[in-house]
Structure formats: structure tokens, C-alpha cells
Amino acid sequence: MAGLNDATRGRLLFGGDYNPEQWTPETWREDIRLMKEAGVNLATVGVFSWATLEPRPGARNYGWLDEVLDLLHDARIGVALATPTASPPPWLGARHPETLPRDETGATVWYGSRNQFCASSPIYREYAQRITTDLARRYGHHPALRVWHINNEYCTSCWCDESARHFRRWLRERYGTLDALNDAWGTAFWSQRYDSWEELIPPRRAQYLINPAQRLDFHRFTSDALLECFTAERDIVAAHSPPGVPVTTNFMPLFGGLDGWRWAEEEDVVSVDIYPDPAADRADPAGPAHGALVADLTRSQARGPWMLMEQAASAVNFRPVNKPKGEGLMRLWSLQSVARGADALCFFQWRASRQGSEKFHSAMLPHAGETSRAFRRIRDLGAELDLLSGVTGTTVPAEIAILHDWSAWWASGQPGRPSAAVEYPALLATWHHALWAQNLTADLAHPEADLSRYRLVVIPQLYLLSDAALDRLAAYVRGGGHLVCGFFTGVADPDDRVREGGTDARLREILGLAAVEEWWPLAAGETVALDDGSTGSLWSEDLTVADATVTASYAAGELAGRPALTRHSYSAGTARYVSTLPEPAALRALLAEAAAAAGAEPALRGAPEGVEAVRRGGWLFLLNHTREQITVPLDEPHTDLLTGHTHPAEVRLERYGVAVLSASPTS
């Protein structure tokens, strides 16, 4: 099976989306010259070119693409060749309106933008596979080809009649019988029992709340329907290409629409797009923390090095106010991705568009041209990546796992829950941030994964847990593992059926709890005091302990004197329960204490606040996320791979500065 190493060939990949169909052949030659000057070695071509390649049904226009690929190859620039199926041409929607998606109300989502296709439509799939087959036959053995890039940011959902038929087929395969489906969906509630498969429809707009199990299955179905489209195109390009050409598609960052664990298993290379907000500063490090979370998730999906398919050279165009990246920030965030396992750094896009919806989205080559500061930064980054080629293919060690599951996300985000303020991705980000801020590197892991290699396992929240996941957790802690479990976890099974007792008995045994008597969610802005001097927000619970030790109790209100935080020795391991969302400093302290007890070490002890430390291979990456110069103490001499300088006892990082250090040999 092909992999990212086949594409990198020992060198970090650097480049971006290239859309030559927007430009003249004279501009193509200028682009090639400037790409070489910038150190670009990979161009993603053809992502939105369907209407150019097939201007009318069955017609083919390949001359321009032949020339572009030959030019890139002659310049020793590899190609990530995309199938253009994310953006069908207008003629497909005009001639075949049944290929267009419909929303929950039945309204058509028209062409005129992109991603206007129904994944269940046989006609869409037929045309998509035709153009994919023709591209693969023509270019599968082109010497410039390094990677196949299928579609782009799969994200569409559809509630049309064709999707309904496909959904019914999917449900038949999942449940086998209507009795099994009715049991799984709990259709005795509100007289929702189904008597024939034909009665089943997607969760369209209804008078009141939709059956949550139906909605949960529709999330799963939509992910699987899109995955069918991906694997069909993947198999076509693989059949017409040499064995060493990997296939990928780019995920959106922490996107709720696709089951990323299932999708990653079907990719040769896992790739993602990352667009942190540059308006975040040192007082609100949401930008770098978000980038770290997405990188850690993608590395975990890839089980090793991964590909950053898109980032912005500076400003984006999709926020209410689109600020550019300050001096040094593009470099800092790019090298953060390398530190956390990326072997490819690509941008959207190479040359800034002069027309269309993204003409104000920044590019490697901006409107200001080759003499601009922005292009100078790109040239400088390309030169530095050459110095970092040695890190290609190396791994990022992590002793901590954060459990994450898309089904739990989907189920916990539905209406009719105790609190609409509890948002799964926000909780995940908050707990990851508490580890990241202390340079405790974490993988993300599926709840049913083998956890034995991790010293500490953290669950911010998993409302839904399978029997297999609960058994894995029990075995992990019994075997000596350390667990920190957040509130409202283990409440439901995979059918969104509340577990006996309200929280699964196996989890209660691990945690040393007798019962979660009641959930007490908190209103927006409301906090609850704990007797250790800290406060909690968002949530609280009325707990009864069995044999757990209470480490903090609620200090006021209805729950005054009741347990809030607990710790329990379970066989050879330890499990902690957190029934509220501790304030940031308290959550950091709790996780630091748990990590220390588990023997999980930060990447660098004593790093100043604002400095991110990550180990990759034999290198220590230090990243200064502040606007001030910071001195970082070192426990032994190190040499900076970027500058060649040796630092005996400390290294000075300028504003947004980066050092990539290896231990210097002693004399």
C-alpha cells in the first residue's frame, strides 16, 4: 500500500492549490519560475476544474492540463492531482436537477457555488466516476504525479427522495429486520413504530423533536454515503496508477459531518485543512491551541506523519472581519504543524484569484506580487523547510490519549438534552488546551482502541459509549492505567438508549461511584464554588460515591457538601471523575497532577508560559506564541537545526520565534 513516504521521498512537501485554468499560458510560465524561487515542490492541480475539463456532457478538454503537468514536471515540481468532483459544472444540475441536494424542508440547493451534489444520486456518481476514470487513464502514469487528491472537503448532506431510498438500504443492512430497527430507535415512544421499510425517511423538518436515534443514524448514513463516493473514485485512480502513488482527500478541521476514524482507515494519506484565527493573541491563544488540536487529531488518524493540505498564507475571507497574519505568525503556525507530525505544508492557494468568491483570500503569491513582504515570507519558509528534511517520516511520541468519537458527538449535540450549552467540540478543545498549555503531548484515540501504551487516558465527555469501549476502559484501568473522566459520560449506548442506572454500571465501578443521582446543568455565566477554592461552570451533578475518595465537594447551593471531584483505586489503576467543568487553572492543575501520578512527562520541563514544546523524532521544537522575546532554559547543550547555532544552557526566542533543537554531542 502506498503512503506519504512515497510522496515525500525524504523531503518535506511544500506548495499549494494551483488553479491554472484561471490564468493564461504566459502566467503559467511566470508561476513556474516563482514556484522554483520559493522552493515549492508540490502543486495541487484540478480541484475545481470539472467545467473546464468537461465543458459539456462527454466533451473533454485536456490540452491545458497536459501542458501544465509537463511544465511542472520539467521544473521538478510534483503534482497532487485532484478529481474535480466536489464542484459539478452547471450543466449537470441544469440537465439533471435530481443530482442537486435538498435540505430538510425539501428545498433544492441550487448550483452557482460548489459542493452542490447529492452523494446518493446514481447520476452524479456516474458522471463523477466517468471523469475520474478518464483522468486516471490519462495521467495515472504521468511522471509529475505524486498524490491523488479525491474531491475536496466532503461535507454535503441531502434529504431528497433518492437519499431516502439509499437511507432505507443502509438501514436494512444495519438492522436486518424492522423489529430490530424499531427496538433500536425506541419507536414505542410517540407512536413512531414503522410497519414497512417504505415508511422510513430521513429526519426531515417535523412538527416537534425528531426521534434522536433516527437523527443519529442519519449522521452515520451521511458519512457512509459520502465515503462510498470517495472509495469509488479512490479505487478508480488506484487501478490506473503505479503502486507508489498514494490517495487522499482533505478533511476540514474537527468537522462534525464525517466519522473521521472510519474515513482515515480508507486513505493512504490523511490530510486536513487548518485555518486558525490570527486575531487570537497571547491573552487568548485559541488560534495556536486550535492548530495543535487539529494536528494531534490528524496525526492520530494517520497513525504517523500527515499532510496539511490547506492553510492561509495570511488573511482568509470567511470571517466577519478577516485580519492578516502578523509578521512571523504564518511561519510559526506552519512549523507547529511540522512539530506535530506534518510532512507536507500546503496552502490555499498559490496565486491569488482576481475573480470569484475567494478573491480576497490570501495566497502564497498575493495580489501585491513577487516583490511583496508576503511572498518574501513564503520564500523564507521554503528555504527553512529544506533544512528540516531530516524530520520527514519521524514520529511524535505521546504518553496521553484523549478519547474522541463522532457518534458520541452527534448524539450529545441533539435537542432534548439536559443542557444545550454543553457543546462537545468546545469541551474537547478545552481539555486538550489544558494539556497543550503544559506541553503534555496527547494523541486522540477511538474509545474502542487499544489504550495499553498510554500512561494517562482522558475523557472530556463521551455521552455515548459502546460495550466494547467500556470493557476496554475497564481493562485499561485494571491493568494499571490512569483515567480522568469528565461529566455526562457513559450515559447512553450506541442506539442512544440511556443505560440502566443513568450511567453505565461498569463505568461507575471503575470510578467508585454508587450513582449519579441527578444532572444539574448550570445556566450561561453561572458558576459553582468548590471547597478547594476553585469554581466550576457549565455543569454539576448530584453524586453518591461507593468507595471513591472525594477530593473536592460543592461548597454552596443545592449540592453543597456533595462530591464534585473524586479519585478511585481500581485494581492496579486509578480513575478520577470530574462532575463539573473546572476553571482553566484548576483543570490544568488536575490534569498535571494526574499526568505526574501516571508518569507522563511534558516535552520540556520549566518552559515559560507561552512557549510550546513538542518532541518529534530526535528534535525538540520550541515555539514562542507570544509577541515578546522569551528565554527558554535547557538542561543540556542543544544545536538549532534552523540556524546551526549551539545553545549551551538556554535559547532565546524572538516574537513568534521557533527553534528546532537536537542535543549537542559532548566533547
Backbone angles phi, psi at 99, to 5 degrees: -85, -10
Q: What angle is formed at CA 429 by the lines to CA 427 and CA 435, rounded to 5 degrees?
A: 110
C-alpha separations of 322 from 317, 318, 362, 495, 632 in Å: 6, 7, 10, 42, 33
Query: Among all chains, which residue has been given the C-alpha cell 427496538?
Result: 183
310 carries an active-site annotation: yes
Task: Kindly tell me the sign of the dihedral angle through the C-alpha atoms of 279, 282, 286, 288.
Answer: positive
For strands 456-459 and 513-519, give the pairing: unpaired
Q: Would you say 576 and 456 are in contact if contact means Cβ atoms under 8 Å apart?
A: no
Structural Rg of the chain based on CA atoms: 26
518 catalytic? Reply is: no
Of 153, 162, 384, 612, the catalytic one is 153
Q: Give the residue carrying C-alpha cell 511520541.
A: 397
For the chain, give the longest Cα–Cα distance. Answer: 81
Q: Decide: helix, strand or coil at residue 294.
A: helix
Conformation bin of residue 525: beta by default, left when phi > 0, alpha when psi is -120 to 50: left
Give the active site residue among 162, 310, 541, 612. Answer: 310
Rounded to whole angstroms, the Cα distance separating 290 from 429 reads: 7
Cell 495521467 sits at which residue? 139
Beta strands in 373-464 (DSSP E): 400-403, 442-445, 456-459
HSE value, Cβ hemisphere, 13 Å, CA-based, for 552:
26
**Is-contact 269 247, C-beta < 8 A?**
yes
Decide the pairing of beta strands 442-445 and 482-486.
Answer: unpaired
| Residue 238 identity (one-letter amino acid) | A
Active site residues: 153, 310
